[in-house]
Structure 1
């Protein structure tokens, strides 16, 4: 009886947790097509008018494009620099290497975007990168780099050094070894950090809100903040429709990567 009761309680707990996570997803799917959406999940009064109202907003759909530019640009900067840095830390023996990695990771967790808000704004203002996507990309990439380097180093460590030695015998230069030998073997790890970076940047609100003042340059996470009525109440028609469109790119990326890699990142090959 005790085993049966324990299993029953465990199943009930899983069901409750599943419902807890499923309700927001159900609202995200149903509310955009409801003529009068509320915070409750209910059978909708089917309409496409919410999307029509969203299309009439001069900045809404353009903000999705801004989010793509910022997310992809930050991902490219982060992955490129992290790949080079993690490979160097993996192959070059320097005193205090592991302490440096853990220190970078610890400081990136302690000094959050909120804590560094004022100096970040002053720095971007001093180099004339306020109200530019480049400034946002650099700030976001700087915050993500320590974690990405820490993750990628494990993948670089798992690449057999015999591969590189064979390439050197054939006259390959260092950048050729990195691009043609190391990167293909560590590709699952690079794909993982690339998608992780996009997900982290996609919903980031603070940095774009701080650095971007022109509505035509603001990403979707900031644009959603403006969907309020004159009395200060949230316009659920616009928010629900925009939330669905905002979530679609990340969902599509997930299915694409899951089909290609299956998220089975084992960390390379052992020599």
Structure 2
């Protein structure tokens, strides 16, 4: 194994682990503070956006060229509000209402929804492996929601609604900015998307106040907040960096450890319990993503959760 590949593997495994940890940490924060989902997301988007754009400035990259063309401007605003803000809010609300593992698994439905969308758009029937992925994902979703019995739905209607919105939101998050990312770069688009989404939420959230929020946190919970923001941002940067050394297919498969990490941490740290069929459902959803990364008979696009 050469050094470049070793570095790439370390980066993607570390990044996926950090993202897997962020869900349980967010859940812990909600359990130990009175901060709302909207207030938390406002802080997270603003600080993460500033962090990423500052990182690019330190690397002497021009972060303002994206604003030179009206087409880019409009596309960026739509992505920031409907993509970044919409997907993140649905994910955070799912964590708040249910738990981190459920939110992470609903997020993993994104690539399957993308496959279905692309099939309709291209008016082309999905390949056999893609059909298998879709069936596996639907089966997994059924098990997560019902724990194997349709008469015993274990998730609330709100959790199911926001969970499905998470999957839809991350699908839009992936598909909408494709052309913008090709022209301007992934990191710049994500950085501005976070900052604009945070500013929009700050404007709409009139009850938000820094003084009021600061009184909500103790030293311990504030430290956790900073850790969540830092780990989530580093997770993204590590993934982007790993693509220099690894194929996208490899990173997709390795990123599947995210729900595994979230499940282990939730059970060991937060004392969460999951039914046997729910755990089986989680395995099914992870397998569906792996199926999508497998070679097809024809060259067809595959999608990973990390694009999301």
TM-score, normalised on structure 2?
A: 0.27
Larger Rg: 1
Select the structure with the greater relative contact order (CA < 8 A; seq sep ≥ 6): 2
* Structure with more helix by fraction: 2
- Give TM-score, length-normalised by structure 1: 0.30
